[in-house]
Structure 1
């Protein structure tokens, strides 16, 4: 019987697994506009920009791997700066990445639930998410958390030899 999925703040020891999950999306999908896989060293500043408190968080979902009892990372959710200028400080941009073999199991929902619970005490006004189109699973996840569409950047990114639209969503916090 599989163990329960646990969600906790991300730590530096998670870096290799988080980078592996992210690189899957870099190599195989347009959901991120990075076009070259990153090393854990290149991702380290990103990880360190998400402390255990404050508005910029990293939440990690784990489950004990069958037969080993060792925790395996199933995915992560983040909140980070929406824009760099000071007046944007009460807005965050959020994202969720789930390991390719852990999709459709509610991991994204658990991660976002933990992330928004952690953010509930912060001085935040809005969360934003950009979703490369088409991505019906991500649209459904964000709708479940009361994100509403606010606009689409048409053909804003080029990856895999074609242009992609990014639909933007916002949520009141």
Structure 2
């Protein structure tokens, strides 16, 4: 079943989404090398992250929600790429889906909405770091026009081993 036929709504994230968003992210913290965070978060600890993604501007949070169950299926963000001012026209994007939401088009809907929201912003490039291996994420990013630019080898250590991160970029 595709996300369109399952009635998925994509909208900006709001503070009442915080617990569900934290639960989704904590799955990746606990179970996967997709994020290099190693300690789970409470919703209170994630509040500054949520509040750093405004409804306008270059740093956005888009949430996918099932219109049937009102359950959050995932989210996509654009965040600061680096802290120095010359990087202000670049963003780093990421996407996280609920465990059972993959392969249903939810990620595609999220990125479509995110990039549409960013279209009128003063942005030049989007970057995505993808811990390897992650074929689903690589395919999604390539579908949205990201191109591979290089790999940081063994850049993160989690679960007792080192992981590579492949970097992709997209013109905005």
**TM range, smaller chain:** over 0.9
Q: How does 1:22-171 map to 2 (within 5 A)?
A: 22-65=25-68, 70-171=69-170
Q: Decide which moves more: 2-11 or 54-63.
A: 2-11
CA distance in 2, matches of 1:143, 1:103: 17
Q: Could you give the per-residue CA deviations for residues 112-165 of structure 1, whole angstroms, max 9, x where no partner exists?
A: 000000000000000000000000000000000000011100000000000000
Structure-2-length-normalised TM-score: 0.96
The CA RMSD over aligned residues, in Å, is 1.2
4+ residue runs over 6 A deviation = none
Unpaired runs of 5+ residues, structure 1, are none
CA distance in 2, matches of 1:132, 1:102: 19
Structure-1-length-normalised TM-score: 0.95
Question: Aligned residues, how many?
Answer: 169
Q: How big is the shift at 1:64? A: 3.1
